[in-house]
Amino acid sequence: MHHVVLERWSRGNSAIHRLDPRAKISALLVFLVVLATAHRNLVTLSAGLLMLLLATLVGARLPLAAAVVRAGIVLPFTVVFVCICWWAGDPARGIALLLKSYLSALAVMAVVSTTPLPALMRGMEMTGSPRFLLMVAQFLYRYLFVISEEAQHMSKAAASRGATSRGLIGSTSRGRSRFRAAAGALAVLFARSYGRAEDIHRAMLARGFQGRFRTLGALRFRTADALFAVLASLAPILWRVAVEKVR
């Protein structure tokens, strides 16, 4: 699964990996807002911001080419709209969509691939996001792979029994029975997930779970983190001010 890559990258050990997640989150938000609200000289602005992101990726010792390609996940969606804008006679907006969506995705990826998810969630919790929601998100991420694997096993088992959902136009009665079989599989997956969740809950209670996660080692916001947050926030702002001065 492709997102395992991100997980591996986030376990790296560079100066950027070691920064406090709050510093990275605040810098990311400033970056995104500066980019999202920009209108003038967008190409020059984007070029500078791209350099900034690439420098961050190099600083974090991430594989540059792979990271640049990975952020392209956003492109299929964007390209559709670029074509629509082009067709509607507004190519400038299409280019703006392309630049903004790609750079935003790359920026988010730069943060997520240098911060393990538990640390990221903890950082978000300390900036005021509802803890319950973040805990649900963390459980979701933890069991994503487990339940997905179960679903894969089920569909593989169904396929080996001869169920092909991609068959050519069959008789409607056969299509209907396939539909019902898929619904049954999904219901079984639901029931198994529900049961698994109850088991997990009991196991956690037995280990003294009291409704909140505890992380080993408290987060410490050091001078270096503050320095990074200020510098990394100022860089895109100053660049945009400079770009907009040029007429």
Partner 1 sequence: MGAAVHIPDGFLATPVWATLDAAAVPAAGFIVRRAQREFDEGKVPLLGVMGAFVFAAQMINFPVGIGTTGHLVGGALLAFTLGPAAASVVMAAILAIQALIFQDGGILALGPNVVNMAIVGVLAGYLPFYLWGGGKWRKLSLFAGGTLSVLVSAVLALAELAISGVKMPASVLGVSLALFLVSALLEGAITLAVIQALESIQPRFVREPAAGRSFALGAVSLGAVLLAAVGVLFASTGPDGIEKLGRQAGIASHARTLITTPLSGYKVAFLSSSWLSKAGAGLAGLALIYGACLLIGRAVSRNRSV
**Cα(199)–Cα(189) distance, integer angstroms:** 15
Binding mask 83-122 for partner 1 (x = CB under 8 A): -xx-xxxx--x--xx-xxx-xxx--xx--x----x--x--
Q: Which residue in this structure is represented by tokens 């987060």?
A: 219
Out of 30, 47, 126, 135, name the contact with partner 1 by CB under 8 A.
135
Residue 153: Cβ within 10 Å count: 10
Out of 81, 116, 118, 219, name the contact with partner 1 by CB under 8 A.
81
Out of 146, 224, 230, 238, name the contact with partner 1 by CB under 8 A.
146
**Cα(238)–Cα(240) distance, integer angstroms:** 5
**Cα(47)–Cα(53) distance, integer angstroms:** 10
Q: How far is the CB of 223 from partner 1 (least distance, A)?
A: 27
Residue 11 near partner 1 by CB under 8 A: no
Candidates 14-22, 29-37, 58-66, 225-233; binding stretch for partner 1 (CB under 8 A): 29-37
Which one, 51 or 194, has the nearer CB to partner 1? 194
Question: What sections of 3-130 are H helices per DSSP?
Answer: 4-10, 15-18, 21-36, 42-59, 64-70, 75-87, 91-112, 117-126
Q: Rule CB under 8 A: which of 56-75 touch partner 1?
A: 70-71, 73-74
